[in-house]
Amino acid sequence: VRTGLRMLILEIVPRSSETNATGHIDHAVLPVWLELAREPVYRLFNPDLSFSGWNTVIRRIEIDFLDQVRYHKQTEIRTGVSEVRNTSFTVTQELWQEGTLAARAATVIVHFDYRSQSKLPISAAVRKRLLELHRD
Amino acid sequence: VRTGLRMLILEIVPRSSETNATGHIDHAVLPVWLELAREPVYRLFNPDLSFSGWNTVIRRIEIDFLDQVRYHKQTEIRTGVSEVRNTSFTVTQELWQEGTLAARAATVIVHFDYRSQSKLPISAAVRKRLLELHRD
Amino acid sequence: VRTGLRMLILEIVPRSSETNATGHIDHAVLPVWLELAREPVYRLFNPDLSFSGWNTVIRRIEIDFLDQVRYHKQTEIRTGVSEVRNTSFTVTQELWQEGTLAARAATVIVHFDYRSQSKLPISAAVRKRLLELHRD
Amino acid sequence: VRTGLRMLILEIVPRSSETNATGHIDHAVLPVWLELAREPVYRLFNPDLSFSGWNTVIRRIEIDFLDQVRYHKQTEIRTGVSEVRNTSFTVTQELWQEGTLAARAATVIVHFDYRSQSKLPISAAVRKRLLELHRD
């Protein structure tokens, strides 16, 4: 039995400005929502989210759009970590609207020093916290 | 005869992501477009638009929405200066879509030192350039 | 003693994508936040906020920017109604961040039939509800 | 010698509102720019880009972020088609800033009937036009 696994859940209230003329949420809004839901992950690296101390960089995003995303529906993003490597890790996320899986995403994030523009190893302490968010 | 008066004209290509589900451009997009059209004005204060040298601050915006703003129409923003004061000035702008005046805006901008958080006088040279954009 | 007066309060969680390179929240984000905070007002006209039944239009916005709006601060929008006319009304709003009044706004909204493109009178029932939000 | 191959090129003028407090363009802006650059592709399916006739849906996006995207740089998106299948095709795009490849993207788009919520075959005529944009 694996215990102690956590999944981060963020409720989103869609904004009317995020719809487009097709009547649904514009696809380009999803990366904004997904980023919001990753905030607790960023805090592991930069506890007060100060911009001067920002030390992660997004290396890749993948999003599968499985259903139209609607304005009026209760919306939830579920966030976990699928893999932790030496200097980077992968966040996997799901967008649910009232029982429907509307999108699935994977984001590769690198621990990064902006000044030297170089990758940094992920410490054992942060690795442990990331692995607590591990989801298959 | 008043000569030498210039008006800045910027053509905008509306983005599908800027529409909302009513089928028109979301009203909250207009401040973004109007800011784009003020870029030549900001260059009078900060020629290379560097963020470290940013030295103006928006004090007030007013926008009158006169008609629905549409995605597919040729769109133009006309920008002039209506008043120059000691430390601030007012930019007046019009949004035209194919012969229809869709919005009118006034923006009060202050010459500002972010470090000391204080207003700065507008130099004679910049004042002269702003007045060349004067429109009644 | 005036009783029964209500003020709508919405807490906003600023998004990192809403900052700009000056380090503060971009001024053009405020209209989006203010619109979110007006949602209970729109529900008086269109209870389920359906787009096919949308029946208000923004006629004018005014925003006074009183202080830089910051990403990390607790943020609250206070919304009331300052005036109700025959076919339109004015919403007044304040943006507070931890004890600082950062912006003040007035928005003129018209009860509107998009099909006929004409103004509609505000019913007695809706007027009563709007006046319950009256603030001087 | 392969002749007749075309690549779509769109110049983008980054907006100050698209930066974030790290000083660079926010990663979530790239899907908006990439969508703009796909407009000529959408016109093959829906020549006047009318919303009532909208007949494509984005099924998947992948973006590799290879370098920080900067506000002040000349920015260009190069768009081609890498694969055309029965009901869907893949658009591949590159974001260049002054000689640097800053991002690479693949987008899977489905020919789609929103009313019946079903996939549609891509006609021979449209297939031919898509293949003219083929890039390895």
* Residue B7 banded pLDDT, cuts 50, 70, 90: confident
pLDDT digits (tens, 9 = 90+) for D20-71: 999 999 999 999 999 999 999 999 999 999 988 999 999 999 999 999 999 9
Residues of B at the A interface, defined by Cβ within 8 angstroms: 16-17, 19-24, 26, 28-29, 71
pTM above 0.90, yes or no: yes
For testing contact with chain D, the best of B18, B51, B57 (most D CBs within 10 A): B51
Structural element, H or E, at residue B48: none
The Cα B112–Cα B118 span in angstroms is 6
Q: Are C83 and C89 in contact (CB under 8 A)?
A: yes
Q: Do A28 and D32 touch (CB under 8 A)?
A: yes
The mean of the pLDDT values for chain C is 93
pLDDT digits (tens, 9 = 90+) for D101-121: 999 999 999 999 999 999 999
For testing contact with chain B, the best of A16, A30, A70 (most B CBs within 10 A): A16
The mean of the pLDDT values for chain B is 93
Contacts with A52 from chain B: Cβ below 8 Å: none
pLDDT(C2) > 70: no
* Residue D4 banded pLDDT, cuts 50, 70, 90: very low
The Cα diameter of chain C in Å comes to 48
Q: Do B28 and A19 touch (CB under 8 A)?
A: no
A91-96 long-range contacts, Cβ below 8 Å, gap at least 24? A91/A38, A91/A41, A92/A135, A93/A34, A93/A37, A93/A38, A95/A30, A95/A33, A95/A34, A95/A69
For testing contact with chain A, the best of B16, B17, B29 (most A CBs within 10 A): B17
Q: Do C20 and D17 touch (CB under 8 A)?
A: yes
Q: For residue C1, what are the CA distances in angstroms to B95, C78, C80, C131?
A: 46, 21, 18, 16
ipTM of the predicted structure?
0.94
pLDDT(C3) > 50: no
The rounded percent of chain B whose pLDDT value lies above 70 is: 94
Q: Are C101 and C94 in contact (CB under 8 A)?
A: yes
Contacts with B49 from chain D: Cβ below 8 Å: 16, 71-72
C120 backbone dihedrals φ, ψ, rounded to 5°: -120, 145
Q: Do C20 and D24 touch (CB under 8 A)?
A: no
Closest C-alpha to B88, from B61, B120, B128, B132: B120
pLDDT digits (tens, 9 = 90+) for C61-94: 999 999 999 998 999 999 999 999 999 999 999 9
Neighbours of chain B (3+ CB pairs under 8 A): A, C, D
The rounded percent of chain D whose pLDDT value lies above 70 is: 94
pLDDT(C6) > 90: no
Q: How many CB pairs under 8 A join A and C?
A: 30
Contacts with C58 from chain B: Cβ below 8 Å: 27, 65
Q: Do A21 and B20 touch (CB under 8 A)?
A: yes
Partner residue facing A35 (CB), from C13, C17, C72: C17
Q: What is the pLDDT of residue D136?
A: 58
Residues of D at the A interface, defined by Cβ within 8 angstroms: 21-22, 27-28, 31-32, 35, 51, 54, 57-65, 68, 114
B133 to chain A, closest Cα gap in Å: 33
What one-character DSSP code corresponds to residue D25? Answer: B
Sequence-distant (6+) residues with CB within 8 A of A71 are A14, A16, A18, A19, A24, A25, B21, C49, C51
Partner residue facing A17 (CB), from B20, B23, B71: B20
Q: Is A70 exposed, middle or buried (0-12, 13-18, 19+ CB in 10 A)?
A: middle
C19 to chain D, closest Cα gap in Å: 5
Contacts with D19 from chain B: Cβ below 8 Å: 51
The Cα A88–Cα A57 span in angstroms is 9
Q: Do D49 and B72 touch (CB under 8 A)?
A: yes
The Cα C25–Cα C55 span in angstroms is 31
* Residue B35 banded pLDDT, cuts 50, 70, 90: very high
The Cα D38–Cα D93 span in angstroms is 9
SS3 C31: helix
A3 to chain C, closest Cα gap in Å: 31
CA angle, residues D53, D56, D57, in degrees to nearest 5: 130
CA angle, residues D97, D101, D103, in degrees to nearest 5: 100
Partner residue facing C51 (CB), from B22, B62, B114: B22
B20 to chain A, closest Cα gap in Å: 4
pLDDT digits (tens, 9 = 90+) for A40-95: 999 999 999 998 899 999 999 999 999 999 998 999 999 999 999 999 999 999 99
Q: Are A59 and A53 in contact (CB under 8 A)?
A: no
Structural element, H or E, at residue A51: none
